[in-house]
Structure 1
Amino acid sequence: MKKTLIASALLGLFASQTAMASDETAELRKVIEQQQQVLKDLEKRLEETEKRVEQTADAAEANASAKSATTIGGYGELHYNNMSNKDAQIDFHRFVLFFGHEFSSKTRFFSEVEVEHVIASHDDKGEVELEQAYIEHDFSDALTGKAGLFLVPVGLINETHEPPAFYGVERNPVEKDIIPATWWEGGLALNIKAAPGLAFDAAVTSGLKVEENFKVRNGRQKVSEASAEALAYTGRVKYTGVPGLELAATAQYQSDLTQGDASLGEEAAATLLEAHAVYNIGDFTVKALYAQWDIDGAEAEMLGRDSQKGWYVEPSYRINEQFGVFARYNEWDNEAGDNTDSKKKVTSVGVNYWIHENVVLKADYENQSGVLDADGFNLGVGYQF
């Protein structure tokens, strides 16, 4: 009897435990199924997130590529001039916009549009000018060519003249009146990287067409229906193989500066020679440049303009990232071929204050002598982007 009762009790307990285990198993299965559903939901959301990230990355890459292909930049400068020989004036001298486009890693387009003196009209001094518009192509790592309208490879200011890049409110008068910067022509050019630090430039372009005074600066045709009876041939060698040093020399030949104008007499073949040096020692920099024109023809000789030459030297010191000081002596003569003393001399000292690496405030004092006789000061603000 006792054994029967014990067996019954054990069977009851086992049945109870089995029922409880069955309930727990069912609950555990339910939890597992819920967790599996959660994991499926997470996987689905993760896949959707990855798709969105990929789409965003593709869009960003495409957008970045589009932005890098076409670039916009520019520069400008406002000047205040107070010289003793003329009335003081304030002038937004230049407003320039740059547009470039990269067709491929080897083929590019560059252009510059400039507005001078704010207003361009028949009654105003202002001008609207296209200073650059050319295609550049890399034929190899050592050979690059360009075709179109571009700056002549000569001097220091002609190719690099953004305001934060040079000292003084105004560009130096030697390169302005002798070279004459800013000077652009239309044609073809090649740049050859012959060795590390050694490069050659060669160009065949439209040339100058002087007026009856044979002043070189007035001969710039600016590629506006320019006479092309006599093309210009330019060559330059530049050496930058020593850190901090730049040496360069340019020669240009044009068979006739008059472009066949019979009223100016016989043909006036002309040769320009220019050489410059830049040397940086720490924060100290010195620049020196010499340029000279030799012009054939009786008309030019009669005016004393068969020889036109000038030079300048400019030491400067960068005190820190914001301040730099400079001094510059300029001497030039557009009538050096005559027997009279027609030299012009300008001595300048001043300071540049960069409130940003691409934004500069300038001030300088200027003393003019030789056939000039004036002094005064200039203030300016310039930018580039």
Structure 2
Amino acid sequence: MKPAFARNALAAALLCALSQPALADDADVEARFKALEARLNAVEAENQALRSQLVSTEQKADAASAQLEQVAAAAPSGGAGWSENTQIGGYGELHYNNLDGEGGASDKDEIDFHRFVLFFGHQFTDRIRVFSELELEHSFFANGEGNGELELEQAYVEFDLNANHRAKAGLFLVPAGILNETHEPPTFYGVERNPVEGAIIPSTWWAGGVGLSGNLGSGFGYDLAVHEGLNTNAGANYAVRSGRQKTSEARAKDLAYTARLSWTGVPGLTLAGSLQHQTDITQGLDANAGSANLYELHGVFNRGPFGLKALYARWDLDGSGPASVGADEQMGWYVEPAFRINEQWGVFARYNEWDNRAGISGNTGKQQTNFGVNYWPHADVVLKADYQTQDNDDGRNQDGFNLGVGYQF
């Protein structure tokens, strides 16, 4: 608009000048024309500069808009902020045990805040996330004193490869058994976790490595993992639980390979089996030990108020060392029926058998029966009571009752 106005004004001035009496000579008229031409050229130059500035401004605006779109695309859906993409959770449980020992077993009269756990997770994008778990056991641990343990049980990054398959790397729970990956107090019956998975799986079992998980359709799912192996020894009679390295400067001469296949094709039913192979269960430190294989099967069924869990697990260890103490075969199983009276009350019974030296005939087997009640005043808070009785082959038994309170959030 400005250049057009200036042009019209100059033209009007020119007409006025021409309409005056012809007092000036030709030289004067020519000078005026040149002055007017110079003014017009200056206006044209100014107009061109303004057009260039406008184009530059539009280009900068387009670039800024593109950068904003890239940031929005990299953020999780909805463009949520850091706090909205970070999750904090946890669980805890307090136990009271009142057990009478017989046959040489000690009494146990004890109150213990067994576990205090915090979860931290963060969603970087729709396809990348991190999850971690920090646990304090037995309430107190400082400068090597106290009975407690401070442990990092999970810390891994997970990547969605597509809608059905995921990969992860870091510290994670080994995909085996029922309790190893899901053990928050409101999710299971009984004050203490079942002894079979503790002694044989051995739960809770975490390891550093890489893994793949996914859905195969028709209710089938899978988990594959390569991770640090166990590192047991003759001093512990090659018991698998003693070999957990907890990813603390873990020896990795012989890695472990774990695979699990699960099926949930019927509502309320989960069937699964895990296999694991390790070339040397002593990480090359014992020439008398060799490879180890874990075989595990379990089922979980819930229909209305009725529930049923069952699990069988077995280790086969090669080598003359494990065979000499019967640890070449370590096995266990349990079955647990339950009945949910209503949303708040449930009762259960569980029978357990296990033996970490089942390869020899002797008094090494253990049997334990539990029955009790859970009360949920809230879905994430539970009060528990159960009675246990043992009938171990060596006669060393602990019988009595357990009380507990637990929560999750």
Normalising to structure 1: TM-score of the pair? 0.82
Unmatched 5+ residue regions in structure 2?
1-76, 102-106
Give the corresponding residue for 1:250. 274
Give the corresponding residue for 1:106. 127
1:84 paired to 2:84? no
Give the corresponding residue for 2:170. 148
Aligned AA for 1:119?
A: F
Among 223, 242, 248, which residue is 1:224 paired with? 248
Give the corresponding residue for 2:8. none
Give the Å deviation of 1:119: 1.1
**C-alpha distance in 1 between matches for 2:160 and 2:149:** 33
65 and 320 in structure 1: CA distance in 2 versus 1, 3 angstrom threshold: farther
1:270 paired to 2:286? no
Aligned AA for 2:227?
A: T
Give the corresponding residue for 2:372. 350
CA contact (8 A) 1:348 1:366 kept: yes
**C-alpha distance in 2 between matches for 1:125 and 1:297:** 35
Give the Å deviation of 1:120: 1.5
Give the corresponding residue for 2:313. 291
CA contact (8 A) 2:191 2:403 kept: yes
Give the corresponding residue for 1:174. 196
**C-alpha distance in 2 between matches for 1:282 and 1:87:** 37
**C-alpha distance in 1 between matches for 2:79 and 2:214:** 34
Give the Å deviation of 1:63: 9.8
* 1:164 match: secondary structure: helix
**C-alpha distance in 2 between matches for 1:197 and 1:162:** 25
CA contact (8 A) 2:383 2:406 kept: yes
Normalising to structure 2: TM-score of the pair? 0.77
Matches within 5 A, 1:119-134: 119-121=140-142, 122-134=144-156
* 2:166 match: secondary structure: strand
Give the corresponding residue for 1:363. 385
225 and 328 in structure 1: CA distance in 2 versus 1, 3 angstrom threshold: same
CA contact (8 A) 1:249 1:276 kept: yes
Aligned AA for 1:254?
A: Q
Give the corresponding residue for 1:164. 186
**C-alpha distance in 2 between matches for 1:297 and 1:282:** 48
Give the corresponding residue for 1:376. 400
Unmatched 5+ residue regions in structure 1?
1-60
Give the corresponding residue for 1:95. 116
Give the corresponding residue for 1:337. 359
**C-alpha distance in 2 between matches for 1:286 and 1:143:** 30
Give the Å deviation of 1:318: 0.7
**C-alpha distance in 1 between matches for 2:181 and 2:295:** 17
Aligned AA for 2:346?
A: G
Give the Å deviation of 1:64: 5.7
CA contact (8 A) 2:268 2:302 kept: yes
Task: Report the number of matched residues.
Answer: 323
**C-alpha distance in 1 between matches for 2:151 and 2:162:** 32
CA contact (8 A) 2:289 2:320 kept: no
Aligned AA for 2:268?
A: G
**C-alpha distance in 1 between matches for 2:203 and 2:307:** 22
Among 231, 235, 238, which residue is 1:214 paired with? 238
**C-alpha distance in 1 between matches for 2:292 and 2:178:** 21
Give the Å deviation of 1:344: 0.3
CA contact (8 A) 1:136 1:146 kept: yes
**C-alpha distance in 2 between matches for 1:87 and 1:224:** 31
1:238 paired to 2:238? no
Query: Is the deviation greater in 149-158 or in 332-341?
Result: 332-341
Among 139, 149, 153, which residue is 1:118 paired with? 139
* RMSD of aligned residue pairs (Cα, Å): 1.4
Give the corresponding residue for 2:28. none
Give the corresponding residue for 2:88. 72
Give the Å deviation of 1:123: 3.4
* 1:235 match: secondary structure: strand
**C-alpha distance in 2 between matches for 1:250 and 1:368:** 28
Give the Å deviation of 1:142: 1.6
**C-alpha distance in 1 between matches for 2:344 and 2:387:** 20
- 1:27-82 deviation per Cα after TM superposition (whole angstroms, max 9, x unaligned): xxxxxxxxxxxxxxxxxxxxxxxxxxxxxxxxxx9996433300000000000001
